[in-house]
Amino acid sequence: MSVATGEVITAPEFRAAGTDLSERRRSGLSCGSIIDLTASPDTIGIAWSTDGAARIGALTAIAAVASDARLAQAYPGITAAAQGLATPQIRHMATIGGNLAQRSRCWYFRNPQIACLKKGGSDCPARSGNHLYHVAFDLGPCVAPHPSTIAMALMAYDAKVTTDRRSGLSISDLLGDGSNGATDNLLASGERIERIELPAPLAGERALYKRAISRSYAEWPLVEICVRAMVTGGIFQQVRITAGGIAPVPLRLAASEAALKGEPANAATIAQAAELATSGAKPLPMTGYKLELLTGLVRDVVERIVV
Ligand SMILES: Cc1cc2nc3c(=O)[nH]c(=O)nc-3n(C[C@H](O)[C@H](O)[C@H](O)COP(=O)(O)OP(=O)(O)OC[C@H]3O[C@@H](n4cnc5c(N)ncnc54)[C@H](O)[C@@H]3O)c2cc1C
């Protein structure tokens, strides 16, 4: 394993609530100057347009998203994801923008003594090392899963991100497709997330979020999914399934969606969709177990949605 000398982050970094940044400062991983973000009416809180679409400011606390009754009615998958992550203390402080832009939790990345692709190194030490909690869809040179639960849930709702420089960014525009192992997102240096825009929900849609975890509290999930579905007359009309913890970016499970859309909402259809959840997977030697978790989560959550 290569040891880095001086390969720490020296670029200036924004600080929202600092729940991710402070830990990297303490370990010496982030050493550049800090730019504190201050709330303005445009960057904090939840606003609604007349068609029922929500806009969430980047500095809105995750706890505020988790406890907003109107948001829970319109976008229950986002509410449940916000309620399920981290700890009450972290949710109280941490912001939506900081969640999207948080850095990898890979233990090699977090160790300032070890070089990795995200710190200017030439290879990914997790690939040949301990990658028990890493990707099962090996899409790029870095095998760390993207850490953002909120990004995974926002992807299920086709959310668009506005920064101080660009608007209309999808979650994929913001985070990439996983092929760039050097970064956790595609924000330019000094580019600031300002808000997230959600399309109005479909009439009659339902949504659920669930995570598979290695301990019951204060941990990133092994695998997590968000399912949105509209079922009328016993037929799946619209389905969207996104998953986190399995790839360098949140993923849409397109094969599972296609297996459900237009089909009867019964056990056979759901079982078929669950099997297809792993389409395109490329597990690492230690991460095959995540595919079983993914299949089980898809079956369980879709079944619950149609009940
Ligand atoms: C025990 C524990 C468990 C956790 N579990 C989960 C989990 O299950 N799922 C999950 O998603 N997260 C989890 N987290 C992470 C937590 O959600 C993040 O630390 C938090 O969301 C970061 O938000 P913040 O406002 O504190 O960001 P900060 O720490 O202030 O910033 C994080 C990064 O984002 C950048 N940044 C912040 N705001 C902006 C902005 N507006 N525009 C551009 N860049 C910005 C900063 O420069 C920094 O690089 C967990 C954390 C802990 C400690």
Cα of 247 to ligand 1 centre, how many Å? Answer: 18
Write the CATH number for 280: 3.30.390.50
150 residue type, one letter: I
Separation between Cα atoms, residue 24 and residue 282, nearest integer Å: 30
Q: Which atom of ligand 1 is nearest to the CA of 21?
A: 29
64 within some domain = no
pLDDT-derived band of residue 7, with 50, 70 and 90 as boundaries?
low
Is 19 close to ligand 1, i.e. is its CB under 6 Å away?
yes
- pLDDT, tens digit, 9 for 90 and up, residues 34-72: 999 998 988 999 999 999 999 999 999 999 999 999 999
135 residue type, one letter: V
DSSP letter (8 states) at residue 246: S
CA 141 to chain CA centroid, nearest Å: 19
153 within some domain = no
**Residue 133 burial (CB count, 10 A):** 20
Cα of 64 to ligand 1 centre, how many Å? Answer: 15
Q: At what angle do helices 149-156 and 76-84 cross, to 10 degrees?
A: 170
Q: Is the distance from CB of 46 to CB of 65 less than 8 angstroms?
A: yes
Q: Is the distance from CB of 283 to CB of 290 less than 8 angstroms?
A: yes
Backbone Cα Rg of the chain: 19
Cα of 20 to ligand 1 centre, how many Å? Answer: 5
Q: Which atom of ligand 1 is nearest to the CA of 187?
A: 43
- Written as six digits, the tokens of 105 are 């939790």
- pLDDT, tens digit, 9 for 90 and up, residues 211-226: 999 987 788 999 999 9
Q: Ligand 1 atom 4: the closest Cα is on which residue? A: 86
- Written as six digits, the tokens of 186 are 């595609």
20 within some domain = no
Domain carrying residue 263: 206-306
pTM across the whole model: 0.97
Is 86 close to ligand 1, i.e. is its CB under 6 Å away?
yes
Is 148 close to ligand 1, i.e. is its CB under 6 Å away?
yes
Look at residue 8 in the predicted model and tell me its pLDDT.
76
27 within some domain = no
- Written as six digits, the tokens of 118 are 């995200």
Q: Which of 71, 76, 69 is nearest to 57 (CA)?
A: 71
280 within some domain = yes
Q: Which of 91, 81, 117 is nearest to 2 (CA)?
A: 117
- pLDDT, tens digit, 9 for 90 and up, residues 236-256: 999 999 999 999 999 999 999
Look at residue 216 in the predicted model and tell me its pLDDT.
77
218 within some domain = yes
* Segment 97-102 mean pLDDT: 98
Q: Count of domains in the chain?
A: 1
148 within some domain = no
264 within some domain = yes
Q: Ligand 1 atom 3: the closest Cα is on which residue? A: 86
- pLDDT, tens digit, 9 for 90 and up, residues 169-221: 999 999 999 999 999 999 999 999 999 999 999 999 999 999 999 987 788 99
